[in-house]
Amino acid sequence: MNFTVLIPARLASTRLPDKPLADIGGKPMVVRVAERAALSGATRVVVGADDERIVRACAAHGVAAVLTGRHHASGSDRLAEACELLGLQGDDTVVNVQGDEPLIDPELVRRCAGLLAKRSDCVMSTAAHPITELADFVNPNVVKVVLDAAGRALYFTRAPVPWWRDGFQAGVRALPVPAPLRHLGLYGYRAAFLRRFPTLPPAPLEQCEALEQLRVLWHGERIAVHVAPHGTGPGVDTPEDLARVRALFAAAAASV
């Protein structure tokens, strides 16, 4: 199976300045992400950066990188430019791994790519896992996804779904059945669609929920969803997240 992993990396971050270059066990975070992604069996792993400092940091550790514009409104826009720079076309499979996921599960990346290869009815693939904690179910920062019988996304939302008929009367005391699914921010694309995506008008639902993937459904395209048994390692959004991930890397290194 041939597929390319693209990692969007943007230097500016309001909560954690210079996030892609944050040191984790002696290497920049974006390099750690690339190393994990390479374990998936990808044909190649390329960072799409918005700053020369990221490109230089990647080069210093043998990671391929391309310099993209700083004007992009989203990671998908940055990846679309990277596709053009790399000459990816048509049905070439691209997996988008976020640049702040240094503990991403390589098997999940491979599964996402493999699912898209099997689903000619879908232009994208993604992943989810069952929610087991009530706090996650009601947390608007935990995105949920609802599937159809063929394993395609019906809707993504920050709301607690599915919602049982008498839920408002009883209050949220337990998880519904079937188990709700937490969406994981990992995407597979057909390169032709990834290059077309930025040209699609934003969807009203996308703007309401602040979820870019809703644009795909709004315009009539389909997203296949791989349901994993559990989530992947923690991402890095804040200094507290970075400290936690650093501690996990240090513990892993000490155990070797």
Instruction: State the SS3 of the chain.
Output: CCCEEEEEECCCCCCCCCHHHCEECCEEHHHHHHHHHHCCCCCEEEEEECCHHHHHHHHHCCCEEEECCCCCCCHHHHHHHHHHHHCCCCCCEEEECCCCCCCCCHHHHHHHHHHHHHCCCCCEEEEEEECCCHHHHHCCCCCEEEECCCCEEEEEECCCCCCCCCHHHHCCCCCCCCCCEEEEEEEEEEHHHHHHHHHCCCCHHHHHHCCCCHHHHHCCCCEEEEECCCCCCCCCCCHHHHHHHHHHHHHHHHHC
Mean pLDDT (the chain) is: 92
User: What is the model's pTM?
Assistant: 0.92
| Mean pLDDT score, 85-92 | 91
**pLDDT value of position 231:** 87
Half-sphere exposure of 166 (CA within 13 A, CB side): 3
> Would you say 113 and 188 are in contact if contact means Cβ atoms under 8 Å apart?
yes
- Other Cβ atoms closer than 10 A to 103: 17
Structure tokens at 230: 């559990």
pLDDT band at 14; cut points 50, 70, 90:
confident
Residues of the chain above pLDDT 90, percent? 78
Q: Is the pLDDT of residue 166 over 80?
A: no
Which domains are delineated in the chain? 4-125+182-255 (3.90.550.10)
**pLDDT value of position 177:** 85
**pLDDT value of position 3:** 97
Structure tokens at 42: 């990808």
d(CA 243, CA 239): 6
Residues of the chain above pLDDT 70, percent? 97
Structure tokens at 159: 């709301």
